[in-house]
Structures are given as structure tokens and as C-alpha cells.
Structure 1
């Protein structure tokens, strides 16, 4: 039996004539697309792990967690990312790979938010006519098509603007003084804060502006 990952990539166990069920390792409650799947969170990765019983090899798909380069924040003081924000970031990496991009930029982060699809930020974008297909097409127009024989790395490194967008989200959360997690809305508004980056230009081309950003910011600490 083949288990499906969150991005619909099959996780195939080692070859065996026995059809034993997958063994769940560690459970984290995530949105419905993860139902029936167990997750293992490691310090530097977001890993979906399916393991067979006994000593069979483990099949793993890993996604990097959003990270910040804000040095003045102590490690134990950094706010945590919400489950939807983590999934959005992971889907952004995947979108970068689909388009064969060498880096994960703000445009990929924007696509990741739309792929995740259940956050308030994603719903707000769709309500304003900003869809995944439109963003994907606009990204290709801005960045061009990659070489047919180019393959993105497993985790395309962040562009400088994408890194600043993540840092903005963390700083904004700390500035608010509110408890809780960094949400997908923080992530989207971080993308919007990078005015020279592709993500901002794509949002602006579809009518997203500072007024809409202010409207969305009212729900910044909610992620339902």
C-alpha cells in the first residue's frame, strides 16, 4: 500500500512481499489533508515519516521550517510558526521546485500560501481574485521559464527578499506583544513588505494594495 504525503508525492516503503501497515511515530494535529499521517518535528526540518515495523528502512520527505536571521532575538524568545504557516512555507518550496527555480522567492511563498488554502490569508486572496493559477502564470512572466534540463535543489535557498519577508513576520509578531504564533497572515504581509520583490509586484498587479494589507492585518493574530 502506498501512503500519500501532504504534497501528493508517494512515500514508497522498502521492497517487501509483506504488506504490513505503516507504523505511526509521533502525532501532530494538522489540517485535514494530514489526517491519517503522523509527523515528526526535528530542530531544523519538518519531516513526514512513514516507517514499517521491525527494522525496515524509513521513507522520509523533509521540509525546511521558516527560519530567521534576526540575531538579537534569543533562541528561547523566538515565537513559533503556526501549522498553516509552516505548511504554506513548505508548499512554497515545492512550488519553486515545480517551476525549476534556483531559489525560493517571495513569489514562491505567495504560491505556497494559496496551495495551503485554508488560512485566512489564503481565503482573503481568493476573495480578491488572486488565485494560484494567476500567480503562477505571473511568476513565469516575471522570472521567465527555467532551462528544460535544470533541476532545483531539494530545498531551494531563500532569496534575500524572501529572507527579509520572514524576518519581517517575526519582528511584527514580537512588536505586537501578543502571545501566540506567527500566522500565515504575517507571512503574506511580510511578502507585501518587500516592495521590489516579485511577490509584491504580483500582488499589486492583481489589485492588492496598502488598504487591503491594513484590512488583512486586523486578523494577523488569527489563523483559523
Structure 2
């Protein structure tokens, strides 16, 4: 029996979210791209299913930025983040979990911002998870999101 390896690629919206997360990490003067920057990237992209789901549930970019200030405090005025802040271990695991979420859903296709959001949620000790939880996202919302994207015929925009 031949095992066929799944053929995955990142959706254009997931790629844009990731690129935006690097920019946001720089804006908050972070030396790394952590899970809170990934969350901001999803929200800044703005047109993906995950972004719309978050906003529908009251999680906005401004609220996330406020929570980041509460967690980190005000950044040093003269600190400059690298052009491409490297991923933290938690952010890398969130990306790995996004791939796992896609594998669970079966079939070929794209890894989307929704998979990225679910991967981020699974990093329980991370700032992104803590911010989501503080803003009302919980396991029920994650299950609802998983259920929505698992429905037959569901197509997330790329």
C-alpha cells in the first residue's frame, strides 16, 4: 500500500497574517515574534474567517493591544526590533499546531488563518492564549470554530 503524503500549503491570508505579525512585533518593540503578534497579524489581515470570527466575538485589534500593554508594560522608547523578529518557541509551536489542525481535518488543501488561530489557542502558557482568554475566547469558542470549518462543503477564502 502506498502512503500518499498530504499536499499542504499556506493560504495567502495566512501568509499575509504572518507577515503582518512580524510588523506588529516591531511596532510593539519586541525582539521576537511571539503568539500575541500572530494574533494581531490575524486581526490586521481582516478579511479571513478567523479574523471575522474574532471580531464577531468582541476581540478587536485595539483590545488585543490594550492587553499586550497590561502583560508587557510600556516598551522602551529607544529599543528597535530587528527587521524580521525571530519566532519564539511558543509561536513556532503554534505554527506546528496549525499544521496539525489541518491534518486532523483531512484531505489536501490550505492551512488557513483559522488553523493558525486554533494552533495559537493550544499554546496555553503563551501571551496570545492569555490575551484571547482575557478577552473571552475559550475552549467552547475553539470547538465552535473547529466545528464550523469541519462542516462538509465549508470553504474558507484563500
1:200 aligns with 2:111: no
Conserved 8 A contact 1:183-1:220: no
1:217 aligns with 2:149: no
* Structure-to-structure mapping, 1:1-224, within 5 angstroms: 79-220=8-149, 222-224=155-157
SS in 1 for 2:111: coil
CA RMSD, Structure 1 to Structure 2 (Å): 1.5
SS in 2 for 1:181: strand
- Measured after TM superposition, the shift of residue 173 of structure 1 is 1.3
Q: Give deviations 1:81-128, integer Å, cap 9, x for gaps.
A: 000000011111111111111111110000000000001100011011
CA distance in 2, matches of 1:220, 1:157: 30
Q: Going by fraction, where is helix more abundant, 1 or 2?
A: 2
CA distance in 2, matches of 1:119, 1:176: 18
Match of 1:49 in 2: none
SS in 1 for 2:59: coil
Gaps of 5+ in 2: none
Gaps of 5+ in 1: 1-75
Q: 1:78 to 1:94 in 2, by over 3 A?
A: farther
- Measured after TM superposition, the shift of residue 175 of structure 1 is 3.1
Q: Give deviations 1:128-178, integer Å, cap 9, x for gaps.
A: 110000001111210222211110001101111100000011122123322
CA distance in 2, matches of 1:176, 1:187: 13
Conserved 8 A contact 2:7-2:108: no
